[in-house]
Amino acid sequence: MFQDFTDKASPEQGPPRLKLLRDAMQAGQLDGWLVPRADVHQGEYVAPGDERLAWLTGFTGSAGFAAVTHTQAGVFVDGRYRTQVRVQTDPNAYQPIDWPEVKLADWLRKALPVGCKLGFDPWLHTQKEITDLKAALEGSGVTPVPHANLIDGIWADRPAPPTGAITAYPDALAGKTGAEKRAELAETLREAGHRAAILTLPDSIAWLLNIRGADIPRNPVPHAFAILHDDARVELYVHPAKLASLPDHCTTDGVTAHQTDSFSAALTLLLNPVRVDPASIPVAIVTALEEADITPAFAADPCILPKACKTEAEIAATREAHLRDGAALCEFLTWFDAQPPGTITEIDVVTRLEEARRATGKLLDISFDTIAGSGPNGALAHYRVSETSNRTLSAGDLLVLDGGGQYLDGTTDITRTLPVVEVGEDERAAFTRVLQGMIAISRLRFPKGLAGRDIDSIARYPLWLADQDYAHGTGHGVGVYLCVHEGPQRISRASDVALKPGMIVSNEPGYYREGHFGIRIENLVVVQSAPPLPGSDPADSAEGRLAFETLNFVPIDRRLIQRAMLAQPEVDWLNAYHAECRTKITPRLSPSAADWLAQATAQI
């Protein structure tokens, strides 16, 4: 099994570890300390030795941070984790803070008096983050101060950094060679007048060099740093053990590998100006450049946008990955529907689904820990089942099942909400509203230049009519055998990045009633140019429109739909989608699963 079910939270360790941190703060003459979830590469998922937030507080969510003073300790989390943080932290030691509604600077102004020093590790915070924090604290008398990491000094059994093997990624699946990518980005640097760009994001480096890594579970990326020069050369800084099985790929054709510990010294030898992304570059790197009289040119990581706009080869590959994954999920659903209520648990569900994906013979990892939340556990948007939380599925439960696979040709992610026999009318009405929002995004045509924030509300509109909503974005970007959460594109109120052809995003509205049930329906979609419609305005046709192509083909449970709530175009979309599921998936199924699929996709 890729997934394990041990309870990773240890809230009872929070108070003694908090005392150790406060002792270290006193020794360092600091009045406050910031504990981010991030590592030096700003990854969402981090290695065991970088789980500082979880080690200190017990909170294991994939987003959040803590701010600690000598009298208060706040754990800042968004709407996905507000129930989870209360379960996983000791309320006598830590106070959950609703972020971003409560700003860190506002909290610090109240928690720290004038003249206080707020310590932070400059390798774990980005330039933008600290610049914005300093601006927000102006006039407060609270001064952010870079300092050696205090958690590392008190974490006695901290795991060593990972040394996972780096492997080559096939050029045929990537659609471009690493040399072609480096040449294109070098031209971008020259046009901007930048002599080099510093890359710290693992997925940017993996994409640029057509390599993959094994340093982080669920994400096939290597921990490394890289410098891209304006002549297309790349200096890669990585632990040599990672290259043991790939000695030539990263040491020829304009790519030179170096020991990681030589990276800091190399920064001081660069020519002006050097491009760094303020949203991902650690403060420590900017400081090193400035101390060497090298001018940082603040601009986006040059890999970010080209990586997000997939090549035709990447899109073709990921289509195949989703068809394979969809067939595996249909085999699982055939088994699931045959299980009587009260006979299987959430862990059984996760285990059986992973077995179905493994049976394809192509699964390299799961793309994230599978979410299988039944009943009240389904109301936790990012629920992770453990031996402690495991529930038996009972009649009347809803099950939120969200998972995906890492295949060489693509990264998958799909959510289906499933009934255990009959559920209540309230649940069916909410499910139908979520479905309406999902269909609205699926059918959408929109002008070029619109960002995720411009269309996020379209998915929420049916829920808003019932005074319902969900506390997460409608969609996140997804890589191709890379990270399941990929920027810069999102369907979110917070996203101002224009959607472009080739971008893959999730389409996943939901609804969560704390203590009762959760609902989410998710497909991945890829942005495509939309052909003109008959009778469209000539000016609009000339400007062009975009639309979404759906990648996942797994039935949406018809038993949860209130048919009378759907308009005819919504019914037509659902019937057409289910017909496409039958056409694309049936040839890949066992006879029993093919029979199940035929029934599950009958017209409504």
Q: Secondary structure of 450-514 in the HEC alphabet?
A: CEHHHHHHHHHHHHHCCCCCCCCCCEEECCCCCCCCEEEEEECCCCCCECCCCCEEEECCEEEEC
| Whether pLDDT at 250 is above 70 | no
| Whether pLDDT at 6 is above 70 | yes
Give the model's confidence band at 318: pLDDT under 50 very low, under 70 low, under 90 confident, else very high.
very high
Which distant-in-sequence residues (6+ apart) come within 8 Å of 83 by Cβ? Answer: 379, 380, 514
Give the model's confidence band at 461: pLDDT under 50 very low, under 70 low, under 90 confident, else very high.
very high
Cis, bond preceding 100 (omega within 30 deg of 0): yes
Closest CA to 150 of 51, 63, 20: 20
Specify the fold of 309-597.
Creatine Amidinohydrolase (3.90.230)
* Plot region of 62 (φ>0 → left; ψ -120 to 50 → alpha; else → beta): alpha
- CATH, domain 167-307, list 3.20.20.10, 3.40.350.10, 3.40.50.10490, 3.30.450.20: 3.40.350.10
Mean pLDDT of the region 89-109: 95
User: For the chain, where do the domains classified as CATH 3.90.230.10 start and end?
Assistant: 309-597
At 142-188, the pLDDT tens digits run 999 999 999 999 999 999 999 999 999 999 999 999 999 999 999 99
User: For the chain, where do the domains classified as CATH 3.40.350.10 start and end?
Assistant: 11-154, 167-307
| Whether pLDDT at 537 is above 80 | no
Beta-strand ranges (E) seen in 269-353 are 274-276, 296-298
Task: Tell me if the domain spanning 11-154 has CATH number 3.30.413.10.
Answer: no
Distances (CA, A) of 21 to 35, 71, 358: 10, 12, 43
State phi, psi for 209 to the nearest 5 degrees. -95, 5
Q: Is 458 exposed, middle or buried (0-12, 13-18, 19+ CB in 10 A)?
A: middle
Q: What is the pLDDT of residue 251?
A: 62
Distance CA 528, CA 501 (A): 5
**Number of Cβ within a 10 Å radius of residue 425:** 9
Side chain identity at residue 515, one-letter code: G
Q: Is 200 helix (H, G, I), strand (E, B) or coil?
A: coil
Cis, bond preceding 273 (omega within 30 deg of 0): yes
At 54-75, the pLDDT tens digits run 999 999 988 999 999 999 999 9
Torsion of CA 578, 583, 585, 587, to 10 degrees: 150
Mean pLDDT of the chain: 95
Give the model's confidence band at 195: pLDDT under 50 very low, under 70 low, under 90 confident, else very high.
very high
Beta-strand ranges (E) seen in 268-382 are 274-276, 296-298, 365-366, 371-374
| Whether pLDDT at 536 is above 80 | no
Q: What is the pLDDT of residue 412?
A: 98
Q: What is the pLDDT of residue 45?
A: 86
Q: What is the pLDDT of residue 179?
A: 95
Q: What is the pTM of this model?
A: 0.95
| Whether pLDDT at 543 is above 80 | no
